[in-house]
Structure 1
Amino acid sequence: MTEEDGRAPAAVVFDALGLDHERAFADSAERRASPDWLLERLAPGIRVLDVGSGTGRPTAHTLAGAGDRVLGLDVSPVMVDPAARQVPGAEFRLADIRDTPLAEASFDAVCAYFSLLQMSRAEQAAVVAKPARVVRIGGLVAPATVPLDVADAECVFMGQPTRVTGFGAEAFTGLVTGAGLTVLAEECSRYTPDLPGAMPEPRLFLHARRPDQPPEGR
């Protein structure tokens, strides 16, 4: 939480960015392709949890438009309000995944795109483990991150000062498999946001499944 007002650091950053964030990342082909990957593998009408749902585009918009029941969670009211207007077919809550109670096996799929970077490594591990519990057996989990091995590093994101923590690609994949999920696909890419002077940034998209049987020792 921030010392100034008790809000999560991500809320402070994304309250300031609003719809500018959506516009800057609107052309990310991988971000658009990941929900399509889920739709291809699960029956229509599934229940999907979108962690860090932002303005609702493209993820909730794509899934709800296909007839899925989407619950989006985000810590920023400036993101949640336009999401509810832009994707009226989905449900959005102003909530932090870290302290939101969710029932075991209550979702068919979980998405978490770039929503962990303002958390500590211990918090990220706990959040990755949570979808592994709330998704049903055989359900799918699609996390994505910026694969950088940094801890509480100062940076400026779209003009906003913030601190970020991340894992390298191998370590982040290990976090997902360590939560008991089976990684089915992995895609590393680079993306340049639509911003003046922006530089390409690395991105890692994983697609995983909750197996029918827990791993040995779990």
Structure 2
Amino acid sequence: MGTGGYEHIERDRTGQAEAFDAIGDRYDEAFPHKEGQIAAGAWLIESLPAGARVLDLGCGTGLPTALQLTDAGLQVTGVDLSAGMLAQARANVPGAAFVRADIGDLIEGGPLATGSFQAVAAFFSLLMLPRPEIPYALRAIGDLLEPGGLLTLSMVEADVDDMSIPFLGHTIRVSGYLRDELLQVVRDAGFEVIKEDSYAYAPASIDVPPEEQIFLSCRRA
């Protein structure tokens, strides 16, 4: 599939990990209902053989996804840039392995072997990247998957690129697409979209506005 060029992109993550280090478990308090994420995790569980290797990309505190997949008997590796989030994930999901890394590090020669996973879950992690990086990140995910491997991802539907927003008392930068453009970006990166779901979501926090969440279930073409 090839990630050609990602290694030459200058990545600016200023303040991103630090914000999530500070937010800590307040993230789970602000987003208590994760029906879409749980349903997408259930799709992976139903679609994979026992003991399959799954990458939880942008695992946060490990809840609910790393725990859900581990409890189902899958071999889970979680990746996150926030050391604070990873510390909580290790406590919450002792049965999983966790690696601190940037998505942009997950190219050939990075900390994870090419073709070493049967599935990847990327819930609200790609939205932390500027739009020009997202196609490269999707191709890097494809390279981590074995042929025919599965990807389930979620994004907030929004026509924004690297936009600064207030988030639980901090500032983060986020990107998004409208639905049809997101579908095209995912397909162009070499994935077949098997199904799509959307959820209207109102976070339990006054400084995080309601949002439309898009979940895509995909297969590496």
Residue 70 of structure 2 corresponds to which residue in structure 1?
64
SS at match of 1:131: helix
Aligned residue runs from structure 1 range 1-218, under 5 A: 8-100=14-106, 101=110, 102-196=112-206, 198-211=208-221
**TM-score (norm: length of structure 1):** 0.89
Contact 2:16 2:173 in 1 (8 A): no
Give me the CA root mean square deviation: 1.6
**TM-score (norm: length of structure 2):** 0.88
Residue 117 of structure 1 and its aligned partner are, at CA, apart by 2.1
Residue 198 of structure 1 and its aligned partner are, at CA, apart by 4.9
Contact 1:11 1:76 in 2 (8 A): yes
More displaced stretch, 103-112 vs 149-158: 149-158
Percent identity of paired positions between Structure 1 and Structure 2: 39
- C-alpha distance in structure 2 between counterparts of 1:197 and 1:168, whole Å: 22
* Cα pair distance change 1:7/1:162, threshold 3 Å: closer
Contact 2:51 2:75 in 1 (8 A): yes
Contact 2:20 2:84 in 1 (8 A): yes
Q: Unmatched 5+ residue regions in structure 2? A: 1-11
SS at match of 1:117: helix
SS at match of 1:26: coil
Residue 159 of structure 1 and its aligned partner are, at CA, apart by 2.1
The residue identity in structure 2 corresponding to 1:74 is D
The residue identity in structure 1 corresponding to 2:190 is G
The residue identity in structure 1 corresponding to 2:83 is P
Deviations 1:169-188 (A, max 9, x none): 11111111111110001012
Residue 165 of structure 1 and its aligned partner are, at CA, apart by 1.9
More displaced stretch, 91-100 vs 200-209: 91-100
Q: Unmatched 5+ residue regions in structure 1? A: 1-5, 212-218
Deviations 1:86-135 (A, max 9, x none): 10000011111211323222100001100122311121111111111211
- C-alpha distance in structure 1 between counterparts of 2:142 and 2:14, whole Å: 23
